[in-house]
Amino acid sequence: MNPPQEVADLLRDCAGALFTCLGDSLVGVYLYGSAVWNAYDPETSDIDVIVLLRAACTPDQIDALATLHDDLARRHPLAGTLDISYVPLTLAARHSDSTLPYYRDGHFVRQGSGDVNTVTWHTLHQHGVPIVGPPASDVIPPVSPDVLRETMWYNLGFLSGRMPAYVARGIETTLFGVVSLCRVLHTLRTGEIASKRDALDWARAQVGEDWKPYLRNVRALFAGDPWASADDAMDGATAFAGHIRRLAGS
């Protein structure tokens, strides 16, 4: 899937600047997420990218990356929506650690974990689009079905336990929790990762008649329908999390 033109233009500029900063340390720049799922919305979507490196960034390279992101933010309206993790190749298909630089929500972080997890690697291996470098499946090992399933069980427990806190913080975090639960159930039942939109649509056929109106309202909110009810979505979210756990068999 080709990304939208405005995303492609930003990524092309970013990739050229990354090569200048990182030189031979750069293995590849890979796009994943909504921009490759045909679900990209310039109003709400991040641009998810993994930059694979031959070795961890040096202090000088981190300084150069900070300057790079400042420059991109001045020149590209969408640059602030980039979500980029810088990962040495030795961590491919593994969990991240707390020493890696990343860029998210318009800020460059010199040391943190970024968005690097089992789901990231699985999605990249199967669907990652190379902006620079060889095909993702050539450099990123596959994630085993057992490991992916174990991650989903962990995510199910975490998300359902966090749902009251998501509701307390408002509709945006509530939608994140509800949609994420639908994605988890989809993966547990199919073994595949779905986009947020596709997981919501799939889940409406799985949750039973009593919960279909709830998910219909959530889907409308997710699509930006001004007539959808945020109060109804938040009021039902914790009970919905329990329902998903029962459907999953936990």
Domain at 210, CATH number: 1.20.120
Query: Residue 188's domain spans which residues?
Result: 145-248
State how beta strands 82-88 and 47-53 pair. parallel
Please state, in angstroms and as integers, the Cα–Cα distance from residue 60 to each residue in 54, 57, 64, 66, 70, following that order.
16, 8, 6, 10, 16
Confidence at residue 97, expressed as pLDDT on a 0 to 100 scale: 65
Q: pLDDT at residue 35 above 90?
A: no
Handedness of CA 141, 80, 198, 96 (dihedral sign): positive
Domain boundary pick from 117, 139, 161: 139
Write down the mean pLDDT value for the chain. Answer: 90
The 10 Å CB-count burial string (b at 16+, else e) for 203-225 is bbeebeeebeebbebbbebbeee
Model confidence, pTM? 0.86
Same domain for 83 and 121?
Answer: yes
Q: Position 118: which residue type?
A: T
Domain boundary pick from 110, 139, 168: 139
Same domain for 104 and 195?
Answer: no
Same domain for 32 and 108?
Answer: yes
Kindly report, residue by residue over 72-102, the tens digit of the pLDDT: 999 998 999 999 999 998 887 776 666 789 9
Confidence at residue 195, expressed as pLDDT on a 0 to 100 scale: 87
Residue found under tokens 């997890």: 117
Q: pLDDT at residue 212 above 90?
A: yes
Tokens read off for 205: 């056929």
Q: pLDDT at residue 246 above 90?
A: yes
Same domain for 172 and 127?
Answer: no
> Which ranges in the chain belong to alpha helices (H)?
5-22, 59-75, 118-127, 136-139, 145-169, 171-190, 196-203, 212-222, 230-248
Give yes or no for a contact between 42 and 8, defined as CB atoms under 8 angstroms apart.
no
Domain boundary pick from 81, 105, 139: 139
The tally of domains found in the chain comes to: 2
Confidence at residue 44, expressed as pLDDT on a 0 to 100 scale: 78
Q: Enumerate residues 6+ apart whose C-beta is below 8 A from 109.
A: 101, 102, 103
Cα angle at 48 between 43 and 49, to 5 degrees? 145
Tokens read off for 250: 């936990």
What average pLDDT does the segment 225-242 reach?
96
